[in-house]
Chain A
Amino acid sequence: MTDKKNTVYLKSIRFLEKIEDSLLIALLLIMISMAVLQIILRNLFDSGILWADPLVRTLVLWIGLIGAMIASRNNHHINIDIITRYLPGLAQKISTLIICIFAAAVCSIMTWFSVAFVRMEKQDGMTAFADIPVWICESIIPVAFAVISVRYILLSFSALKDIFMQADQ
């Protein structure tokens, strides 16, 4: 029974990861096409899309944060990592656990306050470009940090499991 539960769980995670990956790829292709289209319009037709530049700049933020979400799947973020490699096995696992809990906590706090920010912006009701509200552009910030927090919580659980497995041996 637990096996069945596990496969459903894994399948839904795979599915969500697929969505992230596709979104990231689609956004980059949109970004390149928009930028090239803008050059063609500007140089050949003496015209241009006024909202193309702000759109493309917003895409930079979105691509960056979605990329960061994906990087968190296996804790593949920039780190300094000077001590860990010299630690013995168990200590290394404990330090991994501490780090994942720390990251989860920090990102949860970030999520909380970026939700507050986006709600404030929604109240203000400003538009960014082409009648799209600013808060929609900003909404990727809380979403990204929420996803990253969840990932680090999951990584904490698996680090905990590793520690118990080592202790059992």
Chain B
Amino acid sequence: MIYLVIAILILLAFLGAPLFCIIIAAAMTGFYMSDIHLSVMAIELFRIADTPILLALPLFTFAGYLLGESNTSSRLVRLTHAFFGWMPGGLAIVAFIVCALFTAFTGASGVTIVAMGALLYPALKQAGYNDNFSLGLVTTSGSLGLLLPPSLPLILYGVIAQQMNTGEQISIEKLFIAGILPAILMIVLLSLYSIWTNRKTPVPLTAFSFSKAWSAMREAIWEIPLPFFVFTGIYTGFFAVSEAAAVTAMYVLIVEVFIYKEIKMAQLASIIRESMVMVGGILLILGVSLAFTNYLIDAQAPMKLFKICQYFISSKLVFLILLNIFLLILGAILDIFSAIIIMVPLMLPVAINYGVNPTHLGIIFLANMQIGYFTPPVGMNLFIAGYRFNKPIMAIYKATIPFMLVLLAAVLIITYWPWLSLVLIS
């Protein structure tokens, strides 16, 4: 019976049924079979209003749409061309770094794809990168940066692990430092890949010219301060992430509507409407996913799966291989916070038993989860990118797989070469 329901739901999903309905149906079936009153669905959905980090989603999305609708992307292209035009892969590398920093404080909830993507996707195409590459880059960057401070998942891992009395000192500061080299490794590998894959149709290099740089800067004079005050504002503590999002939205609104005047008042209403419909589509999925995650937790499914995996462990190497596979799957179906809370207490003692450093385990854990966000077929960021850029999901799969393979290589290096994570803290 249950298999029939699953088969029907999969078929309906492939026929193009709204994903939120599939997830609701799956969660409700589960709850119904466990004899739990189905109003639990609404309780879980209401948790959206209990999750402060989500405030960044509508605000940054709105700002991203405003920037996308005005001529900011061409100004951005001219600016990076003037400053980094001499460097192969200039804009792509800038995009990776900016997205990573942005994700570090917004989390991987899809904000990066929706907000930064609105700006970067057209910019990359204008700069001469092909559609597929640009799409893949933006989708991948949606979870890049989970290893950089002040990423919340990293903090949560630290709090959970340190409470467990494993005998080893685990501090959040150490985790922050341990994440830096692995994060840099990911960005470097992705950058090298970008240069290599665009070798046949290279974006022509230009020498640095002072006058060009000057005029590009003057053009974008109102937009250049934006990333600086957002990043420094947050990293120095002048504002909280949600406050930075509000200030950004307000600032961009004033600059694009009243200073550059590239967005007419009449247009503003439709931009708000469009951007918030996008937010609605994503929030609804996030909300019902919370309910589905809750069903899995209620049924203690992740724990049972881990027990099965544990049965096959015979050595440190096998443990690490299974860990990679297990976490990739988990990253694709479970939200990252629940995954940490449930799995870390189960995994940590086993990991320590096989001689894995707990700080290293934290980095492995998050590096894997990061890829889980865009692992076909069900990584959440794939759907968000398809929705945002109005592309069929197959096109997103195709565009993202090479990037995923590059990051998979990075994750393997991070997993099997502890030095990279631990050298700065020892």
Query: Which A residues contact B (CB, under 8 angstroms)?
Result: 21, 24-25, 28-29, 31-32, 35-36, 38-39, 43, 53-54, 56-58, 60-61, 63-71, 75-85, 95-96, 98-99, 102-103, 106-107, 109-110, 113-114, 116-118, 120, 137-138, 141-142
Tell whether, in the assembled complex, residue B49 and residue A61 are in contact, meaning their CB atoms are under 8 Å apart.
Answer: yes
Query: Does B167 interact with chain A (Cβ within 8 Å)?
Result: no
Of the residues A65, A99, A117, contact of B284 by C-beta under 8 Å: A65
Q: Which of B131-139, B217-225, B273-281, B355-363 lies at the binding interface?
A: B273-281
Specify which chain A residues have a CB less than 8 angstroms from the CB of B37 in the assembled complex: 113, 116
Tell whether, in the assembled complex, residue A83 and residue B14 are in contact, meaning their CB atoms are under 8 Å apart.
Answer: yes
Tell whether, in the assembled complex, residue A80 and residue B19 are in contact, meaning their CB atoms are under 8 Å apart.
Answer: yes
Tell whether, in the assembled complex, residue A113 and residue B41 are in contact, meaning their CB atoms are under 8 Å apart.
Answer: yes
Tell whether, in the assembled complex, residue B18 and residue A79 are in contact, meaning their CB atoms are under 8 Å apart.
Answer: yes
Query: Does B239 interact with chain A (Cβ within 8 Å)?
Result: yes
User: Known: A56-B55, A57-B50, A141-B42. Is A21-B273 also a contact (CB below 8 A)?
Assistant: yes
User: Known: A78-B285, A82-B393. Is A137-B383 also a contact (CB below 8 A)?
Assistant: no
Tell whether, in the assembled complex, residue A137 and residue B49 are in contact, meaning their CB atoms are under 8 Å apart.
Answer: yes
Q: Can you list 25 A-B contacts with CB-CB less than 8 angstroms, sorted by A residue number?
A: A24-B272, A24-B276, A25-B276, A31-B246, A32-B59, A35-B59, A43-B238, A53-B52, A60-B55, A60-B57, A63-B280, A67-B279, A68-B283, A70-B277, A71-B281, A79-B17, A79-B18, A80-B383, A84-B16, A99-B16, A106-B25, A107-B21, A109-B28, A116-B37, A117-B42
Tell whether, in the assembled complex, residue A60 and residue B49 are in contact, meaning their CB atoms are under 8 Å apart.
Answer: yes
Among B13, B39, B392, find the residue whose CB has the most chain A CB atoms closer than 10 A: B39
Beyond A60-B55, A67-B283, A83-B16, 13 additional contacts (C-beta under 8 Å) are A64-B283, A67-B276, A69-B280, A70-B273, A77-B18, A78-B387, A82-B394, A99-B16, A99-B17, A102-B12, A110-B24, A113-B42, A117-B39
Tell whether, in the assembled complex, residue A116 and residue B39 are in contact, meaning their CB atoms are under 8 Å apart.
Answer: yes
Tell whether, in the assembled complex, residue B280 and residue A83 are in contact, meaning their CB atoms are under 8 Å apart.
Answer: no
Tell whether, in the assembled complex, residue B19 and residue A106 are in contact, meaning their CB atoms are under 8 Å apart.
Answer: no
Tell whether, in the assembled complex, residue B42 and residue A81 are in contact, meaning their CB atoms are under 8 Å apart.
Answer: no
Give chain B interface residues in 263-290, CB to chain A under 8 Å.
269, 272-273, 276-285, 287
Chain B residue at minimal CB-CB distance from A137: B49
Tell whether, in the assembled complex, residue A106 and residue B21 are in contact, meaning their CB atoms are under 8 Å apart.
Answer: yes
What is the distance, in angstroms, from A162's C-beta to the closest C-beta of chain B? Answer: 15
Chain B residue at minimal CB-CB distance from A134: B46
Of the residues A56, A60, A81, contact of B393 by C-beta under 8 Å: A81
Specify which chain B residues have a CB less than 8 angstroms from the CB of A65 in the assembled complex: 280, 283-284
Among B25, B279, B285, find the residue whose CB has the most chain A CB atoms closer than 10 A: B279
Tell whether, in the assembled complex, residue A76 and residue B281 are in contact, meaning their CB atoms are under 8 Å apart.
Answer: yes
Of the residues B17, B39, B249, B384, contact of A114 by C-beta under 8 Å: B39
User: Known: A57-B55, A138-B46. Is A103-B17 also a contact (CB below 8 A)?
Assistant: yes
A75 to B20, alpha carbons, bound, how many Å? Answer: 12
The 8 closest A-B pairs by CB, nearest first: A67-B280, A64-B283, A35-B246, A77-B18, A68-B280, A117-B39, A81-B16, A117-B42
Chain B residue at minimal CB-CB distance from A114: B42
Query: Does B250 interact with chain A (Cβ within 8 Å)?
Result: yes
Give chain B interface residues in 151-168, CB to chain A under 8 Å.
none
Tell whether, in the assembled complex, residue B55 and residue A110 are in contact, meaning their CB atoms are under 8 Å apart.
Answer: no
A85 to B28, alpha carbons, bound, how many Å? Answer: 29
Query: Does B122 interact with chain A (Cβ within 8 Å)?
Result: no
What is the distance, in angstroms, from B162's C-beta to the closest C-beta of chain A? Answer: 28
Specify which chain A residues have a CB less than 8 angstroms from the CB of B282 in the assembled complex: 64, 78
What is the distance, in angstroms, from B389's C-beta to the closest C-beta of chain A? Answer: 12
Report whether over half of chain B's contact residues are helix, strand or loop; otherwise say mixed. Answer: helix
A142 to B41, alpha carbons, bound, how many Å? Answer: 11
Q: How many contacting A-B pairs (Cβ < 8 A)?
A: 198
A47 to B18, alpha carbons, bound, how many Å? Answer: 45
Give chain B interface residues in 24-82, CB to chain A under 8 Å.
24-25, 28, 37-39, 41-43, 45-46, 48-52, 54-55, 57-59, 62
A138 to B243, alpha carbons, bound, how many Å? Answer: 24
User: Known: A36-B250, A61-B46, A70-B277. Is A113-B12 also a contact (CB below 8 A)?
Assistant: no
User: Known: A64-B283, A68-B281, A110-B41. Is A39-B16 also a contact (CB below 8 A)?
Assistant: no
User: Known: A81-B16, A81-B393, A109-B38. Is A61-B273 also a contact (CB below 8 A)?
Assistant: no
Specify which chain B residues have a CB less than 8 angstroms from the CB of A36 in the assembled complex: 246-247, 250
What is the distance, in angstroms, from A132's C-beta to the closest C-beta of chain B? Answer: 12
Query: Does B418 interact with chain A (Cβ within 8 Å)?
Result: no
Of the residues B39, B50, B287, contact of A113 by C-beta under 8 Å: B39
Query: Does B242 interact with chain A (Cβ within 8 Å)?
Result: yes
Specify which chain A residues have a CB less than 8 angstroms from the CB of B386 in the assembled complex: 78
What is the distance, in angstroms, from B333's C-beta to the closest C-beta of chain A? Answer: 15
Query: Does B15 interact with chain A (Cβ within 8 Å)?
Result: yes
A46 to B12, alpha carbons, bound, how many Å? Answer: 55
User: Known: A32-B246, A64-B287. Is A106-B46 also a contact (CB below 8 A)?
Assistant: no
Specify which chain A residues have a CB less than 8 angstroms from the CB of B14 in the assembled complex: 80-83
